[in-house]
Amino acid sequence: MEKFSKMVKHLVQRRIFTARPHCRLLFSKTGVWPQCEEELPTEIKKEAEAYWKEKIYSQGSVKCGEACGKREKKYVLSMFPYPSGKLHMGHVRVYTTSDAMARFYCLRGHEVIHPMGWDAFGLPAENAAIDCNEMPDQWTYKNIQQMKDQLQELGCKFDWDREIATCDPEYYRWTQAIFLLLFREGLVYQEEALVNWDPVDQTVLANEQVDINGCSWRSGAQVEKRFLKQWFIKTTRFSKSLLDGLSDPALENWNDIIKIQRHWIGDCVGYRVEMTVEQKCVCSGTDIWTPVSGKLALWMPQPELIHGISFIGVHSGHKFDSSSYRVLKHDRYQLLNIVAVCPISQRQVPIIVCDDLPYSEDVEFYVGIPCISSIDQSLARTCGFDTPKIIEDGKLVNSGNLSDLTLESARQEVTQQLMDIGAGGFQTSVKLRDWLISRQRYWGTPIPFIHCPECGLVPVPEEQLPVELPKISSFPKRGASPLKEAVDWLTCSCPRCGGKAERETDTMDTFVDSSWYFLRFLDPSNSESPFRHDIQDKMMPVDLYIGGKEHADLHLYFARFLQHFLASKGIASHSEPFKRLIMMGMVMGQSYMVKNTGQYISKDQVDFSVDPPVALGTGEPLVVTFEKMSKSKLNGIDPQEILQKYGTDTTRLLMLGNFAPSSQRNWSEDTFPGILNWQKRLWLTVMDFINIRKNTQDSEKVSLSLEGTQEHTQFLWKSRNRYVRSITYVFEYTHQLSVAISFMQGLTSSLRKVPNCLMLSEEFERTLGALIIMLSPLAPHFASELWAGFCSVANSSHINKDLALLEQQWPEVDQEYPLSLKYSVLGKEAREVKVPRKVLDHLTPEAALDLISAAEDFQDYLGERSIIATHLKVLPGLEASVFFKYKVQDISKVKEALKKMNAEKKKQKLEKRLKKELRKAEC
Q: Residues 34, 101: one domain?
A: no
Highest mean predicted confidence (pLDDT) among 203-207, 705-709, 766-770: 766-770
Asked if residue 498 has pLDDT above 60, the reply is yes
Helical spans, DSSP H, in 58-110: 89-107
H or E element at residue 643: helix 639-646
Residues belonging to the chain:
923
836 CB-near residues (< 8 Å, 6+ apart): 815, 816, 817, 818, 819
Chain segment 413-454, per-residue pLDDT in tens: 999 999 999 999 999 999 999 999 999 889 999 999 999 999
Could you list the beta-strand ranges (E) of 251-285: 270-283
Find out whether 127 and 191 touch, Cβ atoms under 8 Å: no
Nearest Cα neighbor of 292 from 336, 327, 355, 234 is 336
909 burial class (0-12, 13-18, 19+ CB within 10 angstroms)?
exposed
CA angle, 414 as apex, 413 and 416 as ends, to 5°?
70
Q: Residues 675, 786: one domain?
A: yes
pTM for the whole thing? Answer: 0.88
Q: Residues 393, 275: one domain?
A: yes
Q: Which of 465, 486, 511 is the last residue of a domain?
A: 511
Q: How confident is the model at residue 9 (pLDDT cuts 50, 70, 90)?
A: very low
What's the pLDDT at 3? Answer: 45
559 CB-near residues (< 8 Å, 6+ apart): 514, 515, 516, 518, 577, 578
Asked if residue 849 has pLDDT above 70, the reply is yes
Nearest Cα neighbor of 352 from 306, 321, 319, 384 is 321
Question: In this structure, is residue 912 part of a structural domain?
Answer: no
Nearest Cα neighbor of 179 from 425, 444, 546 is 444
Question: In this structure, is residue 812 part of a structural domain?
Answer: no
Chain segment 779-802, per-residue pLDDT in tens: 999 999 999 999 999 987 888 888
Could you list the beta-strand ranges (E) of 259-356: 270-283, 286-300, 311-314, 326-329, 334-341, 348-353
Alpha-carbon gap, residue 222 to 751, rounded angstroms: 62
Query: What is the extent of the structural domain holding 126?
Result: 66-166+514-584
Q: How far is CA 32 from CA 49, 244, 761, 785, 788, in A?
A: 17, 62, 22, 12, 11
Beta-bridge partner residues of 395: 392, 406
Concatenated DSSP letters of 503-566: E---EE-HHHHTTSHHHHTTSTT-SSSSS-HHHHHHHPSEEEEEEEGGGTTHHHHHHHHHHHHH
Three-class SS state of 61? coil
Question: In this structure, is residue 864 part of a structural domain?
Answer: yes
Helices 89-107 + 648-656 axis angle, to 10: 90
Question: In this structure, is residue 408 part of a structural domain?
Answer: yes
Question: In this structure, is residue 902 part of a structural domain?
Answer: no
Bridge-based pairing state of the strands 622-628 and 614-615: unpaired
What's the pLDDT at 133? Answer: 80
What's the pLDDT at 362? Answer: 84
Mean pLDDT for 590-595 is 90
What's the pLDDT at 910? Answer: 76
Q: Residues 416, 462: one domain?
A: no
Chain segment 708-726, per-residue pLDDT in tens: 688 999 999 999 999 999 9
Asked if residue 700 has pLDDT above 70, the reply is no
334 CB-near residues (< 8 Å, 6+ apart): 321, 326, 328, 352, 353, 354
Nearest Cα neighbor of 153 from 818, 651, 555, 798 is 651
Q: Residues 276, 401: one domain?
A: yes
Alpha-carbon gap, residue 344 to 304, rounded angstroms: 11
Q: Which of 377, 398, 428 is the last residue of a domain?
A: 428
What's the pLDDT at 902? Answer: 73
Q: Which of 400, 428, 456 is the last residue of a domain?
A: 428
Q: What is the CATH number of the domain that holds 751?
A: 1.10.730
Cβ burial 75-88 (10 Å sphere, 16+ → b, else e): bbbbbbbbbebebe
Q: Residues 85, 149: one domain?
A: yes
What's the pLDDT at 828? Answer: 62
Q: Residues 775, 699: one domain?
A: yes
Alpha-carbon gap, residue 387 to 317, rounded angstroms: 27
CA angle, 832 as apex, 827 and 836 as ends, to 5°?
160
Chain segment 551-587, per-residue pLDDT in tens: 888 999 999 999 999 999 999 999 999 999 999 999 9
Nearest Cα neighbor of 723 from 704, 710, 740 is 740
Q: What is the CATH number of the domain that holds 71?
A: 3.40.50.620
Within 13 Å and on the Cβ side, how many CA atoms surround 516?
26
Find out whether 820 and 852 touch, Cβ atoms under 8 Å: no
Could you check whether the bond before residue 541 is cis, i.e. omega within 30 degrees of 0?
A: yes
Q: Specify the DSSP class assigned to residue 121.
A: -
Alpha-carbon gap, residue 818 to 582, rounded angstroms: 31
Q: What is the CATH number of the domain that holds 858?
A: 3.10.20
Q: Residues 630, 775: one domain?
A: no
| Maximum Cα interatomic distance, the chain, rounded to a whole number of Å | 122
Chain segment 313-360, per-residue pLDDT in tens: 999 988 888 888 887 788 788 999 999 999 999 999 999 999 989 998
What's the pLDDT at 479? Answer: 59
Alpha-carbon gap, residue 436 to 233, rounded angstroms: 7
Listed range (271-285, 480-494, 589-603, 861-875) with the worst mean pLDDT: 861-875
| Mean pLDDT score across all residues of the chain | 88
Find out whether 26 and 501 touch, Cβ atoms under 8 Å: no
486 burial class (0-12, 13-18, 19+ CB within 10 angstroms)?
middle
Task: State the Cα torsion 247-253-257-258 to the nearest 10°.
Answer: 10
Check the CA dihedral 49-53-56-62 and report its sign.
Answer: positive
Find out whether 118 and 164 touch, Cβ atoms under 8 Å: yes
What's the pLDDT at 289? Answer: 87
Question: In this structure, is residue 643 part of a structural domain?
Answer: yes
Asked if residue 904 has pLDDT above 90, the reply is no
Alpha-carbon gap, residue 667 to 684, rounded angstroms: 28
Tell me the chain's radius of gyration from C-alpha atoms.
34
Could you check whether the bond before residue 466 is cis, i.e. omega within 30 degrees of 0?
A: yes
H or E element at residue 582: strand 578-584
Asked if residue 64 has pLDDT above 50, the reply is no
Find out whether 65 and 524 touch, Cβ atoms under 8 Å: no
Q: What are the φ/ψ torsions at residue 170 (nearest 5 degrees)? A: -70, -15
Alpha-carbon gap, residue 775 to 308, rounded angstroms: 69
Question: In this structure, is residue 252 part of a structural domain?
Answer: no
Chain segment 365-420, per-residue pLDDT in tens: 999 999 999 999 999 999 999 999 999 999 999 999 999 999 999 999 999 999 99
What's the pLDDT at 7? Answer: 47
Three-class SS state of 414? helix
Could you check whether the bond before residue 495 is cis, i.e. omega within 30 degrees of 0?
A: no
Q: Specify the DSSP class assigned to residue 731.
A: I
The percentage of residues in the chain with a pLDDT greater than 70, rounded to a whole number, is 90
Helices 169-184 + 554-568 axis angle, to 10: 60
Looking at the 3D structure of the chain, how many domains does it have?
6
Q: How confident is the model at residue 898 (pLDDT cuts 50, 70, 90)?
A: low
Q: Strand order in 500-503's β-sheet?
A: 456-459, 449-452, 500-503, 491-493
Q: Residues 181, 319: one domain?
A: no
Q: Residues 675, 721: one domain?
A: yes
Nearest Cα neighbor of 646 from 150, 35, 46 is 46
Find out whether 153 and 200 touch, Cβ atoms under 8 Å: no
Q: Residues 99, 189: one domain?
A: no
Mean pLDDT for 55-76 is 68
Q: What are the φ/ψ torsions at residue 322 (nearest 5 degrees)? A: -130, 150
Q: How far is CA 674 from CA 590, 746, 817, 819, in A?
A: 20, 12, 30, 30
Chain segment 278-299, per-residue pLDDT in tens: 998 877 777 788 888 888 999 9
Q: Residues 379, 521: one domain?
A: no
Question: In this structure, is residue 249 part of a structural domain?
Answer: no
Which amino acid does the sequence have at 679? Q
Helices 672-695 + 737-753 axis angle, to 10: 40
